[in-house]
Structure 1
Amino acid sequence: MSSPDFKLSASLEEHEDDVRGVAFPHPKLVVSASRDTTVREWKLLEPEPPRYDCSITSHGSAFVNAVAFCPPIKGYPDGLIISGGKDTIIEVREPGREPDKDAEALLLGHAHNVCALDVSQDGTYVVSGSWDSSARVWTVGKWECDALLEGHQGSVWAVLAYDRDTIITGCADQIIRLYTSTGKFLHTIKGSTDVIRALCRVSPKHPSEADFASAGNDGIIRLWRLNGKQVGELHGHESFIYSLTSLPTGELVSSGEDRTVRIWSNNDCVQTITHPAISVWGVAACSENGDIVSGASDKKVRVFSRVKERQAAPDVIQAFEDSVKGSSIPKQQVGDVQKDKLPGPEFLQQKSGTKEGQVIMIKEDDGSVGAYQWSQGNQSWMSVGTVVDAVGSSGKKTDYLGKDYDYVFDVDIEDGKPPLKLPYNLSQNPYEAATKFIQDNELPMTYLDQVANFITSNTQGATLGQASQAPAGSDPYGTESRYRPGESTSSAPTPSLPTSRPKVLPQTSYLSIKTANLRTIRKKIEELNQQLTNEGYRDAVLNESQLAALEAMIKPLEQRLAGTLSGDDTLQSGVDLVMQMVAAWPAGQQLPALDLLRLLTAATPAAAAYRSSEGGTLVDVLESSKVFEDPDRPNNIMLAVRAFSNLFEISDGRTLAEESFDKIHTMVKSAATSPNRNLKIAITTLYVNYAVLYTSSPYASEPRSTDRALTLLDDLSSSLIRSTVDSEAVYRGLVAAGTLLGVGEELPMAAKEIYDLDGALKKAEQAVKEPRIKGVVGEIRALLLDS
């Protein structure tokens, strides 16, 4: 006999921003964490119908997105609420304690946002995951980090304290890792095809005999044994899955970016609870009574129950269902909808669904497109919203990399440097769009809120569908307000994108890429070093003292790149070591060494001062290592070019780059025809830096600067600008060309009469139709006209 459907029990509405994490420790207490910087307790006052009282447990200075509950233990008869977020601090508090009172403990150690927390069932330890690519184990009561779980090569989005001895982590690198609670690495589990965001224990009542489940960005729930064997897959979600939990019945519950909470029995979805929100960030189950709680982007905490006595009054349930029906669903979420070929409303009476959660499109009598979802429990189609075009108020689209977007923003990360491109559709979650933008451009995750706020502040006046259908600033999903990560609701005027940009020519500052996960690079070098040992490359292998020197270099290099280390240089031995690897390691193992070299050239004059035993510079070593003669390894070439670009960060590096111009130019030009996007951007970045150099004192007055500027302009006009369709590479190439026109009087004339720069400008405009391309092309044409 099938279980009855869950129905709304209570809607809890005190949070002022997204509810990112929820816990349901017992029937009389719900805990929630939000981007409004608070952790709140919801205490059950009356069970029938349910009524809750809200109190703030913690009020911090930054958003909170992870919460867990430690069961009652000695000294803490009511248990403990544990939360973490952007400020990197894990806070431990007793329930019912005033937020202005001291916390029971503050756990310090993570370097970035704490995004995952779990507590062992016996309450002996807490495990945390962070954007700093690590997980940590903390002993309850002692409140110290007793184990650092390393080896991850991305953010640790999910952690599971599986039992007293076993910890499982899920990572952005798509790998599941198992450790002992003392920190010993056990093994990895591979099989996911995207970022892993959720883990949960699977009940022994589940027929699959799985030990745990995982889910993430690929929208699939996978069932695993601890030994790594996959024993099942659950399909149904249409987007990212953010959270998983297990019911006392053995069923699983999931939530995600497709606005749903889904209940899974065996391998089947038996109920779909659609929310009137952009994202359902978290879901948790009460192990005592089987009720569930969700936290969503519409600022609300919702409790659902299968027991009629614990369900809300009929009018409250109806209001929730009506809010779902009134939602707008962007066309991008449902694919290409051909309205003329859709069935009419009569289909809903004639045909049944084939599975729970199945969605169909219906052409309504008024010509609109309605979305309907099949409910197995009700044996009927339920309205879940109206499909609308996800366009801005103007209805216009902008092309970027061959795709149409509602907006393609210019994002100024640093003053004086070319802006980066941020494509965005109104149907997207701003938080996820910002995360992808940061990862694509190798920016620090500390920019996340800044970029997400940039998106939301510049799209508040745009709505899904016709602009006249909703007031400016209204939420296209029918909720109270637009998604505003890290901000409270404001009545301030909506800012708009500038209609014109300030001039960018000439470029006056050097460009560099200095972000990296040094711990990951170091681990990879150790792994490859062992591989070389096994393969018999004795002359290339690093010995124990060299590996120790590599480890000793990491912290000062991190400090150098962060600008917190000054005084005598401590990286000379590190430079020598990296140059040895670049020179001696086979091409297949060179990548991490080249990545370190790229960072060292920006961090220390020791890189520019390096001389081999034969007297060769790092440019000579890169030339003799034949990095640029292996087109099948474009990433190696790209990192070498970045190393050349980063030389311009330091005076000694600029001297080396200028003195080695001919060698560098010959090597780089040979790679300019590669179709690799990142390599194209690296090369045009190098050309920008040379352009800045030759328009700066003392080089601007030297005759050879003009000759070299002509060489670069020839490359840019004849090849780099014309043959590239990537907007960032084209933009940087144009900035380099426009800046080079200021090197001397000969440059504008040569650009017009010899190198056909105007033809290259026309080609760029045709290939990339973006405002910033049009703007810099206009500036170049003005310079040519004035000459």
Structure 2
Amino acid sequence: MAIPDYKLSAILNGHSMDVRCVTITKENCILSASRDRTAKLWHPEGIKDFVNVVTYKGHKNFVSCVCWIPPCEAFHDGLVVTGSNDNTIIGYNLQDGMIQITLESHENVVCSVVSGQDSGVLLSSSWDSTAKVWNLNNPNAIPITLKGHQAAVWAVVELHNNTYATASADKTIKLWNKEGVPISTLTGHTDCVRGLAVANPETFLSCSNDASIRLWTNKGQCLNTYYGHSNYIYSISINSALSSGFATCGEDGSVRVWSAGDCIGEIRLPVHSVWSVTCLDNGDIVTGSSDGLVRVFTADPARYADEATLKAFEEDVVKMQAASQQEIGGYKLSEIPGPEVLLEPGKSDGQTKLVRRGTNVKCYSWSVAENTWNEIGDVMGANPASEGKTMYQGKEYDFVFSVDIKDGAPPLKLPYNKTEDPWVAAQAFIHKHDLPQVYLEQVANFIITNAKLDTLPTQSSNGFADPFTGESRYVPGSGGAARGIGGRTVGMGAADPFTGGGAYTTPVASATALSSNEKPLIPHDSYIRFDQANLKAIYEKLKEFNSKVGDGSNAMTDQQLENVVKLGELNSSYSAETITFLKKMLEWPKEILFPVLDITRLAVRNKEINGQIFDTTYGPSFVKYLLTLLAPDNLAPNQMLSMRVLVNAFSDLPGEMLVLAARESVLHCLICLNQLNNNAQIAAASLLLNLSVALAQQPDSVDIAECLAQLLSKFTDNEAYFRGLVALGTLLAESPNKLQIQTKIVSNTSLHNRLKKDSSATNDSNFKKISTCSQQILRLL
């Protein structure tokens, strides 16, 4: 048999976060599930292209798995079924994405859903250590629960001898009869068993974190063990185009192709985690990976991607392989285990583990009291800077920006080459995405700023004026409203971070910000941040204050000051020395500290800078220092800008983790604040909103709600009050302790009465958002 030469065929770009599962439906369509809380249907178009025709929404947390249920008695068109970290299963209509059924019986993350062999049967498995068998033809019936594993059940399948097989993090596979009674326990794997696949009527396959694949009879006898991967194997799929063929993928960033027990091919991807693999009827292989992309690979030269795309893909693979050989914290990146190592409990309080996340390494500490691993920050190393062009839709660009136009909608890609006229590129972007023409100047100014163009067209001059005063005068905190983020997005002009409409105080924009077609304001599901600033004015203020530092060790040269200010540009290049300068300036006297804090809150939006400011060495003491600046007797600008730094810390994981680790102290400081001006109120409300988004589904949510209830009575600024309401509503909608939060709101008579009053102010356009939000909260009560 000729060995197939698999090459890239297509890249399906639509998800904004990890693609955790891929599978197929009828007519060779692809289904994908992602951490961005959606699933997508991709329809083949032409020889090798796929088009996203439906996006399935409804989950409140990551979508971890997806499957196709063929037409059955209750659902004549079949169902697209998804499982999620919100512990629920949702079934959708294939064609229009409408929700047909919601199943709520699992008590933890649903990590696998597959079709049973009988019509209308759905199998699911969960981190709650169980698998379940559902009869969708009778959705009100209690599902059969397969209970007996000691840890998460990662996979479940139905075998051809009327038995079920389950794979678990307890390193075993169990066989069950149709009534849910255990038959036998299969041992042999030495780590978590992650995937199962029915090979033929007599046998099935399993894959594991021990980097092995095992072939079993339906009775439980192990026939063979196969090796080929160098790290955890996450997924396995039968490839009917090959003799006894199957494909596997895992944490080593590869797909392995197998036939008759031999590994006959390897496909390297430019990622560390290939979460899922499935095979099309024509033998093509589909992957979902940690970079948010779905890829299709083929052995048919007629379906190979074009030469430019293949070349760019191969170059990305080479870069990733080079990065995997770098050393971080004294360890080779490729030798550090992935996140699944955290499934095993620690042996002692304070025990630490290094875990690889992409090209970063995180440090985790075991808490005996909480019985969990807590992330404490990044292990810093020499990450190679990204160089060269970025590939987008088969073409190379100097930049491919991700832009959030509207909260809740996926970011739009804005490709740009420095040789282009930014106004022409902006106009093309507006036409392509059918955006209002009023966005033209804002988009063009965004390109000019973030591409750091040397010459600025005259039309863009207004883009660098103070967004509140229209002047270049520097006012601490004058940099505008917070923007929605995901570690990858930027605000557009003065767009409202919740609705995409105008600023809150603009009556016309407020009146038109909501429509019946838009999603509810609560629960909110993404972090916000403060983006806008006048860098020139900040530089002048820093220069003025620098002269007051004198000849001390913390005084800077003009060039050093310029380099520090450039850290405020979202895509700026910088040296390690400049970060050191910024840290020295953060030691300036408190009376002249506020412009340094302003640059810091801009700088931490950058992923790499966020990792250095909030690393495990400097980060904890820096967060503690920010909290001292929130003391009631401190300067008002320092209070407000410290809160903005903490808000923007959520731009990337290191900052997010440190702020969450200090959440009790943060809440205490916020409660103690009084006599806040409007900007400080907005900063406090934004910080509480980010904490609410992060912790809404945790027990800590009650403490946040208590803090919110106290501060809302102090807020006099409408925008701050609105953001506080969104935070409170998010907690009400998602908290496991909803009853306690309801009690706190109802017992706060002044707040409860204000909610009732505001909910009826529907005719006042200035209060439209507050009124709508109040109505939604009252419904949750």
TM-score (norm 2): 0.47
